[in-house]
Structure 1
């Protein structure tokens, strides 16, 4: 499924939910961005839009993003938190390792069938084709993890903010009226 179809599917699900009374656009944009980044980086969508539920990955993504700000600003508190026996906190703290595992899992098809991988043009087939001796498998997995996190979370938050800003400021909507870009050369 191409990116345009993912966007159309996302918009249709938001519209469906809005007509039913409430639409969580951050959730839908997270699903869409995760599907798109999976397709672009690994040649395979995570199919979050189809599943329509927050799975462990989305909960881990939310936890990692929440905790990253705290870790950056309150590193001493985070060190203390690692020794406290609080189950919810441990789930959040272990989210980073699970995120690494998602990156590793996303790369498995490329590692397992390199001949098939070379026929799929995506970010990681190119990275594996040009892998130098200085780039370890762990480094590649960390890059995969970083792209999944950055590609899904940042895109979803930014897109949600843009929608909020347009709704909050109708004059912006009026200035940026919809144009059908497919008809322009």
Structure 2
């Protein structure tokens, strides 16, 4: 039997390995940049806090506002510090300065919740458990890491030792403004 030349070439092609190489049509690249800025925010959840001095026991033992849950809310992309200070040395009444000093109020601060999370606070978080108000900035929170939406509970307290300062005062509401400042570290 005679095999035609075309069949023979076909058999040869089938039996012999053929290697081909793909040619690249082209390529392109891009650079992706992420710009990170320091972002900080501080909020106070209860803009007005009241302490009643309406019972005899308040003038003997002091009183408090009760815990203000997540009163201070901090969001910071970096480590941070929070300070607190009173706007004046003395309370005012009806817009007039009095002789009742603001340093009769203590702030007791504890760790609160992180927004939408039960995450533990960063290791190394420092909280001043109690400070007396002053017109000088006093550090109450110092965090070695940023967090987004960490709350801190605050209780405004008239300690027993300061309650006599409220005796012999004209009845009415005594006010002061307290400023919290967030400082990136």
Q: What TM-score does the superposition give when structure 1 sets the normalisation length?
A: 0.25
Q: Which has the larger radius of gyration?
A: 2
